Structure 1
Amino acid sequence: MRLYRIGLFTDTYLPGPNGVATSVYLLKRELRRMGHEAWVLAPEMPDADPREEGVVRVPSVPYPFFENQRLAMPSSRYLPTEFEIFHTHTPLFIGIWGARLAYRHRLPHVSTFHTHLEKYAHYIPGVATLNKYVGIMQKVCQAFYNRADVVIAPTEPVKRLAESYEIEREIKVIPTGIDTDLLEAAPDPASPWPSGKRRLLHVGRLGKEKSVDVVIRALAEIRHHVDAHLALVGMGPEQQELARLARQLGVEECLTFVGPVPYEKIGGYYRMAELFLFASETETQGLVIWEAQAVGLPVVAVGAGGTLQGVDDGRSGYLVPPGDYQAMAAQALRLLQDENLRQRFSQGARRFADQRTARRVAEQIVAVYDEASRLVQVEPRRLTLPFPRFPQSGLTGPR
């Protein structure tokens, strides 16, 4: 196996609570365990661990319209080594920086299509309207990902989405890895569920695109039959609106906003819960539902996008139509009211999630690096695209 010096370029990283940050962290860790010299280049964040091995923090400023998001100011003086592989994870400032460096030095560029960007257009003033009429988000994705040598998609639906954007590069389907050992090793938290209540859990950003209101409406239906309590792990701009909805539905006392939880501690909440509810229609991979199942937590989720392949329907959980809180409640009750069934689904969840260990995924990605290294030798350079220009000081920086 050839060992590489790899740059993982991302505009979102831990302690940011999202699937892209988690997937980049796990990939970096596994690549280093395999002997590669892997580095994450990510925006500086106030709560970031300055001692994390293999991470370079690029100066950044807050983005006012999206909490925990930073706008980075890349410069080649922050590069820790001369990379042989550029792996971009976001088509934003740091991702564009990585793409430009790969192009400039005629080196392999691999890019992972993590996110359905159109679903996040409302966080950029004016872009949602612009996207509606001229498809600006599709044009950005097309320009960025066609610059790569190989594109990675986490699921088949995401591959089809990329193809619909007229991304013409080869697209490999490789799921995001999960770390079962870390989830199992997480400490038990103080329980957010009152004693004697059935323990429901949702993990994710509290934003419109996550459809957490559907989960709360399902909770109200569930409580007509079962004394259940819902814990919401995560934060986001919709928290006050969701609290208002809970009051209107009369379930305010049956819901706990836990807030953000560090990745190394999230496993404790999965283990303590009895059922995981998830209603997002915008997922490209549904990483949290895989994490839940990895520790034996059955799932009831909306069957859309990446979640369609994230649940073994009828064995590890149930899939329901988008927005259908009544169907979500009905399937949740099937599991809550039949403990033998719930235990069978718990075992099925572990078996299903076992196929996505972080090490297996990293090995598949290294094979893509090998392929990109061959392609860059035989294919012509990409056309120059109108991306922002960054300093031209070369690859070598402080070590």
Structure 2
Amino acid sequence: MRQQKSISTHDLKIAWLLPTAWFYWQPSLSELAKLCPNTKVFAGLFPGFAKGFENALDVEVVGKRKVVAVTKSSTSYGDNFTYLSPKIVPRLLRYKPDVVFSSSFGIWTILALLFKPIGGWKVVIAYEGSSPGVDYRNSPLRLWLRRMMVWAADACITNSNAGQKYLIESLASPQELTLVQPYEVPDARSLAATNESLELVSPESQLKFSELKRPVFLFVGSIVPRKGVRCLLEACRLLKEAGFHSFSVLLVGDGTQQSELRDFTQKHQLEDCVTWVGRVNYDDVGTYFHHADVFVLPTLEDTWGMVVLEAMLMGKVVLCSTGAGTAELIVDGENGYRFSPNQPQELAAAMQRLIEDPSQIPAMSQRSKDIMAAYSPEKAGLFLSQVAASVLGVEST
């Protein structure tokens, strides 16, 4: 039997199981790796390292991730099955981790729990956040399976209070073992740099950043129904009908709804205030944050909404739908405003406040930075190391 009490945090072997090791995971996990050098990420898909994090993590791709849509939804996540390779089992048995962090309730989490007695590791389930499309509250079978997984796990972590509430109330996770702390948080290195050569908002428009009417409202994300971009455009229409013309909206991203919404923009004569930027490299996203005054996330449903934290880190006022988990970080009137999903009147009212009185923007922007000071990658990495230590019963050093 392992003499776990004598192990320091620095000596722990930690495995992270991620269906996809997206860029937004890398800041926190790289900080965890500094505290626990024997940290390894096993991923079904790895798109590469984010700028500033080259080779900051030990990442191994296992098999090939495949997402199968069971039922599709344009306004929600839909019901999907993510296939992940069973080869994760021999990889874990060979690696011999002390603690396995596994994302959500997928096949890799099931396998980590089933082989827990053989491998002798502890399992922590990482549940990003709560939302109707992923909670399956109306599926007795899914809920039963998740309750069994929570029962077999040693702890659960989540980014949001809503996620913690779901784990405790719907899945019977013990409160003392259900920990809430944002662990998917951005790092300034990936966003702070601006591309000085990028003078035009988009090649298509030939509009320069210096020519934008202020305040500048920014959306970054997929142009799909779930993200609620139509709500933002409806709000722009309402503002123009009310006589407000001195503002700009930048839409960064692409997706299946882009053609439809471009037609909406033309039909309602919004071209003078709405600019379709299209898809940009992640390394250039910081440039758009730099030139914006306000970030808008009108999503109908997002378990977390990492882009809100990126905007706050960059010192932006945030208008956020309550459909996003990160809406918990918005304090109305202090660093932004919250509004109900798919309610353009509410969003237009929030935008109008900032258009009529832009002098409040600097103080609200600073408040966003102040709030984000509590949610750095360093603090997230420390939190994860403390969770690992606590499930093993060792001292966190």
Shorter chain as normaliser: what TM range? 0.7 to 0.9
* Percent of aligned pairs with the same amino acid: 18
- Conserved in 2, the CA contact under 8 Å of 1:88 and 1:99? no
**Letter aligned with residue 352 of structure 1:** I
Q: Aligned match of 1:278 in 291, 297, 306?
A: 297
Alpha-carbon separation, structure 1, partners of 2:144 and 2:262: 37
1:312-352 C-alpha deviation (Å, 9 max, x unpaired): 22111111233221221221122133232111111111111
Go from structure 1 to structure 2 and tell me whether the alpha carbon gap of 1:110 and 1:120 turns closer, same or farther (over 3 Å shift).
closer
1:203 aligns with 2:215: no
- Conserved in 2, the CA contact under 8 Å of 1:85 and 1:107? yes
Go from structure 1 to structure 2 and tell me whether the alpha carbon gap of 1:373 and 1:133 turns closer, same or farther (over 3 Å shift).
closer
Alpha-carbon separation, structure 2, partners of 1:136 and 1:265: 44
Go from structure 1 to structure 2 and tell me whether the alpha carbon gap of 1:96 and 1:242 turns closer, same or farther (over 3 Å shift).
farther
**Letter aligned with residue 61 of structure 2:** R
Q: Aligned match of 2:62 in 25, 38, 58?
A: 58
User: Counterpart in 1 of 2:119?
Assistant: 105
Alpha-carbon separation, structure 1, partners of 2:194 and 2:115: 38
Equivalent residue of 2:124, what SS?
Answer: strand
Query: Where do 1:228-307 residues align within 5 Å?
Result: 228-251=247-270, 254-259=274-279, 261-262=281-282, 264-304=283-323, 306-307=325-326
Alpha-carbon separation, structure 1, partners of 2:212 and 2:35: 45
Equivalent residue of 1:225, what SS?
Answer: coil
User: Counterpart in 2 of 1:182?
Assistant: 190
**Letter aligned with residue 63 of structure 1:** V
Equivalent residue of 1:192, what SS?
Answer: strand
1:173-215 C-alpha deviation (Å, 9 max, x unpaired): 1113331343223545554363233322112333433222212
Measure how far apart 1:360 and its partner are: 0.9
- Conserved in 1, the CA contact under 8 Å of 2:246 and 2:355? no
1:130-162 C-alpha deviation (Å, 9 max, x unpaired): x68644543443333333211112121221122
1:192 aligns with 2:212: no
1:62-115 C-alpha deviation (Å, 9 max, x unpaired): 436499x97332314545732111001132233333333434323111111114
Equivalent residue of 1:63, what SS?
Answer: strand
Go from structure 1 to structure 2 and tell me whether the alpha carbon gap of 1:235 and 1:364 turns closer, same or farther (over 3 Å shift).
same
Alpha-carbon separation, structure 2, partners of 1:135 and 1:245: 41
Equivalent residue of 2:201, what SS?
Answer: coil
Alpha-carbon separation, structure 2, partners of 1:94 and 1:240: 38
Structure 1 length-normalised TM: 0.78
Go from structure 1 to structure 2 and tell me whether the alpha carbon gap of 1:117 and 1:290 turns closer, same or farther (over 3 Å shift).
closer
Alpha-carbon separation, structure 2, partners of 1:236 and 1:63: 18
1:2 aligns with 2:9: yes
Alpha-carbon separation, structure 1, partners of 2:21 and 2:200: 27
1:26 aligns with 2:23: no
Alpha-carbon separation, structure 2, partners of 1:308 and 1:180: 20
User: Counterpart in 1 of 2:85?
Assistant: 73
**Letter aligned with residue 309 of structure 1:** E
* Count of matched residue pairs: 357
1:365 aligns with 2:390: no
Equivalent residue of 1:167, what SS?
Answer: coil
Alpha-carbon separation, structure 2, partners of 1:218 and 1:314: 19
1:4-43 C-alpha deviation (Å, 9 max, x unpaired): 21111011222xxxxxx51x32222111222422111111
1:230-277 C-alpha deviation (Å, 9 max, x unpaired): 323344443344334434443357231422542x44322212211111
Alpha-carbon separation, structure 2, partners of 1:227 and 1:49: 39
- Conserved in 1, the CA contact under 8 Å of 2:129 and 2:158? no
**Letter aligned with residue 154 of structure 1:** N
CA RMSD across the alignment: 3.1
Q: Aligned match of 1:220 in 217, 233, 237?
A: 237
Q: Aligned match of 1:88 in 74, 85, 102?
A: 102
Alpha-carbon separation, structure 2, partners of 1:374 and 1:267: 41
Alpha-carbon separation, structure 1, partners of 2:304 and 2:228: 16
- Conserved in 2, the CA contact under 8 Å of 1:154 and 1:284? no
User: Counterpart in 2 of 1:393?
Assistant: none
User: Counterpart in 1 of 2:4?
Assistant: none
- Conserved in 2, the CA contact under 8 Å of 1:336 and 1:342? no
Alpha-carbon separation, structure 2, partners of 1:165 and 1:191: 49
Equivalent residue of 2:157, what SS?
Answer: strand
Alpha-carbon separation, structure 2, partners of 1:98 and 1:231: 43
Alpha-carbon separation, structure 1, partners of 2:275 and 2:143: 38
User: Counterpart in 1 of 2:161?
Assistant: 156
**Letter aligned with residue 63 of structure 2:** P
- Conserved in 1, the CA contact under 8 Å of 2:157 and 2:178? yes
> Structure 1: where are the runs of 5+ without partners?
15-20, 122-130, 376-399
Alpha-carbon separation, structure 2, partners of 1:142 and 1:313: 35
Equivalent residue of 1:38, what SS?
Answer: strand
